[in-house]
């Protein structure tokens, strides 16, 4: 594996559609600890070279488990540090999958504005998947259209995903308090017919939450 790529990418696309991707995290070469896992609600990007698209997605689930039905983990009563010393091979029997909802894309990768809707092509299998930069997250989340696409995610509680994504997004904005106020206004438009749900979401994104 190219050292530069492995240092930057978090994994590789296994399956994809216009709306979402599943990627496998790369495990450390020494297999002494699990693969690095992105945060729930964080932003990723896929540089899809064959379609000349840069695709952005939000992590909505991370699953870690055995690669098949034969190699199942079992309870050993050891701490993680003890496992690394006594049973380091255990970590090589686990794989970590990222599930992410596509929320926008950029054509020609080289600098056009991000489009806040689904791309014309899905990412390719074996494309690399990277953490989005702060600059990219800022550009993507200044417009709150990405929230509409997250409303369709059904694999996890949608409100938890919306709140986590807003909390992740506000970290890259200079005035975080003002950003949370704007996010609250955007949510009030999306959920104007469901007051109780809106109030619950606002509590999850309030400053200090």
Per-residue model confidence as pLDDT tens digits over 159-196: 999 999 999 999 999 999 999 999 999 999 999 999 99
What is the pTM (predicted TM-score) of this model?
0.87
pLDDT at 77 over 90: no
24: containing domain: 3-205
Three-state secondary structure readout of the chain: CCHHHHHHCCEEEEEECCCEEEEEECCCCCCCCCCCCCCCCCEEEEEECCCCEEEEEEEEEEEEECCCCCCCCCCCCCCHHHHHHHCHHHHHHCEEEEEEEEEEEEECCCCCCCECCCCCCCCCCCCEEEECCHHHHHHHHCCCCHHHHHCCCCCCCHHHHHHHHHHHHHCCCCCHHHHHHHHHHHHHHHCCCCHHHHHHHHHHHCCCC
pLDDT at 141 over 50: yes
Under the banding of pLDDT at 50, 70 and 90, the label for residue 149 is very high
Which pLDDT tens digit goes with each residue over 6-65? 558 899 999 999 999 999 997 655 455 555 789 999 999 999 888 889 999 999 999 988
Q: Of 172, 111, 112, whose CA–CA distance to 137 is shortest?
A: 172
The Cβ of residue 85 has, within 10 Å, a number of other Cβ atoms equal to 10
CB 35 within 8 A of CB 96: yes
How deeply is 178 buried, as exposed, middle or buried, from its count of CB atoms within 10 A (0-12, 13-18, 19+)? exposed
**Among 7-16, 73-82, 140-149, 164-173, the least confident range:** 73-82
Per the prediction, the chain carries an average pLDDT of 88
- Give the Cα separation of 85 and 108 in Å (integer): 47
Task: Give the position of tokens 């014309």.
Answer: 120
pLDDT at 207 over 80: no
- Give the Cα separation of 62 and 39 in Å (integer): 8
- For the chain, the domain total comes to 1
Under the banding of pLDDT at 50, 70 and 90, the label for residue 1 is very low
């Amino acid at each position: 594996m190219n050292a530069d790529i492995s240092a930057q990418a978090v994994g590789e696309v296994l399956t994809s559609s216009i709306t979402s991707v599943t990627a496998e995290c790369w495990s450390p070469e020494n297999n002494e600890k699990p693969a690095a896992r992105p945060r729930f609600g964080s932003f990723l990007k896929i540089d899809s070279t064959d379609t000349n698209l840069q695709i952005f997605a939000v992590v909505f689930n991370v699953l870690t488990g055995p690669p098949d039905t034969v190699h199942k983990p079992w309870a050993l009563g050891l701490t993680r540090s003890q496992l690394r010393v006594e049973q380091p091979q255990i970590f090589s029997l686990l794989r970590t999958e990222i599930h992410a909802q596509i929320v926008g894309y950029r054509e020609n990768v080289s600098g056009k504005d991000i489009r806040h809707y689904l791309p014309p092509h899905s990412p390719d299998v074996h494309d690399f998947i990277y953490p989005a930069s702060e600059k990219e997250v800022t550009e993507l989340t200044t417009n709150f259209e990405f929230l509409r696409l997250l409303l369709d995610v059904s694999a996890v509680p949608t409100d938890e995903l919306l709140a986590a994504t807003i909390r992740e997004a506000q970290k890259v904005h200079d005035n975080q308090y003002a950003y949370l106020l704007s996010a609250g206004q955007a949510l009030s438009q999306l959920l104007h017919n469901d007051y109780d749900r809106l109030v619950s979401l606002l509590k999850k994104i309030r400053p200090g939450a």
